[in-house]
Structure formats: C-alpha cells, structure tokens
C-alpha cells in the first residue's frame, strides 16, 4: 500500500498543525487535556492516511469486460436518458463511495478519451437522485472500436474537490487511474442499452477487479 499523491499536501499540513498544537497544549494546559488532544489528533491523522491509501492490487485486463471504476457499493442499475453527451437511452450503473473506501478512479475500458467536461454545482448527498445532474461533477467518455462508455465523477455532501487527470485525446488503458474525489462521493457509468450487466444492487465492488458489465 502507498499514499495517493492527492493526500501529500493535506497530510503534510496535518503534521505541521498537529505537532504545533500538541506542543502548545503540552506546555500551557493540564496534562490530561494534553493527552486527550494528542489522542484525538493522532486518530485524525490515522484516518486521513487511511482515506488517502492506494492499495497495491493485481489487475487483470480482459477484452470485452468493463471494470468497476471505483470501490464502493452499487446503488443504481437502471435504463435512463443520458442528456449530456449521448442524448439517448443508456444503462446507468452508479457506485457510492463512503469515506472508508479507496477514492481514486480508473478507466473501466481501454480506448481513447473523446470527451471531458467539468461542471461546478451543488453538494447534495451523493445518493440523492438529482446529484448526478445538480452536484459538482466531471464527465469523461472513453471509446474503442467496440463500445463507448461515459463515467461521471460526482461530489457528495462532504466531497468538494474532484480531480480528473484524463484529457481529450488521451489513450486510456483499462484499470489505469484517471481521477480522484476527496471525502465521499459517487461515480455513474453509462453503458449502451443491451450491455450485459454483471453486478446487482447493493453489491460491493472494487476498482479494477470487479467486472460490472461485459460487451
């Protein structure tokens, strides 16, 4: 396991602030209060390290498979209208990430990035039905010679920072990282109607390991 690069600055700042805070409370406050602050700041730092963890995983890239772009739980599987890019019917698979999940995103398939757009927005809870349209979000479309899919990173009530590394024209490699969302969020995947779905509602999935669909 390693620490994700998006956590470097936050963890560094936490170390500086927590060390200074503990130094001051140990000098100017009661011993028991100082130990309480030390315990709390240590717990907060451990939680931050856990959040920004990047586990080492053995990834298998198989043709005709669509991998989960993130860790989390499947909360939506439905046919719906995709109005931003395709403007037609698509199968939507949504995965909710709690603050305890790994929060980087990977390409579900290999291909070429043909669309990317960031949308500022609200911060409704990630499982809210309107969060896909109203929240801060970033959309990426990857296409190969067999299929085109859309992935949408969505900020939640806590997450207020979406990072998308993908750029239009990039060559996407299945299971390679393309983004990160800080502090709880959701990812929507839009697939062509008729795609074979390989997951069920409330199923727990892992990025680059769980196959959500086949084509």
Active site residues: 185
Tens digits of residue pLDDT in 8-24: 788 888 899 888 888 88
- List the domain range (segments joined by +) for residue 35: 2-54
- Helices assigned H by DSSP within the chain: 8-28, 31-51, 131-134
Structure tokens at 81: 């209208």
Asked if the structure places residue 59 within a domain, the reply is no
Q: Looking at the structure, do residues 97 and 43 belong to the same domain, yes or no?
A: no
**Domain CATH for 106:** 2.70.70.10
Beta strands in 37-158 (DSSP E): 53-54, 65-67, 72-82, 88-97, 104-106, 111-119, 137-143, 148-155
Is it the case that residue 149 has pLDDT exceeding 90? yes
Q: Looking at the structure, do residues 123 and 25 belong to the same domain, yes or no?
A: no
Asked if the structure places residue 99 within a domain, the reply is yes
Tens digits of residue pLDDT in 44-53: 888 888 777 7
pLDDT at 103: 81
Tens digits of residue pLDDT in 165-199: 999 999 999 999 999 987 668 899 999 999 999 99
**Dist. CA 77–CA 68, nearest whole Å:** 13
Asked if the structure places residue 84 within a domain, the reply is yes
Asked if the structure places residue 60 within a domain, the reply is no
Is it the case that residue 159 has pLDDT exceeding 70? no
Structure pTM? 0.82
Name which of 94, 69, 92 is nearest 81 in CA terms: 92
pLDDT at 35: 82
Tens digits of residue pLDDT in 113-132: 999 999 987 766 655 666 66
**Dist. CA 44–CA 51, nearest whole Å:** 11
pLDDT at 126: 58
Q: Looking at the structure, do residues 87 and 18 belong to the same domain, yes or no?
A: no
Q: Looking at the structure, do residues 110 and 132 belong to the same domain, yes or no?
A: yes
pLDDT at 14: 86
User: Higher pLDDT residue, 7 or 51?
Assistant: 51
């Amino acid at each position: 396991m390693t620490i994700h690069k998006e956590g470097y600055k936050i963890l560094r700042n936490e170390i500086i602030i927590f060390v200074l805070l503990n130094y001051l409370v140990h000098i100017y406050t009661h011993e028991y209060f100082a130990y309480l602050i030390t315990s709390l700041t240590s717990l907060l730092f451990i939680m931050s390290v856990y959040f920004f963890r990047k586990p080492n995983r053995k990834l298998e890239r198989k043709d005709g498979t669509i991998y989960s772009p993130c860790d989390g739980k499947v909360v939506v599987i439905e046919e719906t209208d995709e109005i931003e890019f395709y403007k037609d019917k698509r199968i939507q698979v949504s995965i909710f990430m709690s603050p305890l999940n790994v929060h980087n995103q990977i390409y579900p398939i290999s291909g070429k990035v043909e669309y990317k757009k960031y949308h500022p927005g609200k911060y409704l809870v990630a499982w809210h039905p309107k969060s896909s349209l109203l929240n801060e979000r970033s959309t990426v479309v990857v296409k190969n010679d067999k299929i085109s899919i859309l992935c949408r990173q969505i900020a939640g009530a806590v997450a207020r920072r979406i990072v998308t590394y993908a750029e239009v024209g990039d060559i996407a490699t299945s299971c390679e990282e393309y983004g990160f969302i800080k502090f709880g969020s959701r990812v929507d995947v839009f697939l062509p109607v008729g795609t074979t779905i390989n997951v069920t509602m409330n199923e727990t999935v892992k990025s680059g390991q769980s196959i959500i669909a086949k084509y």
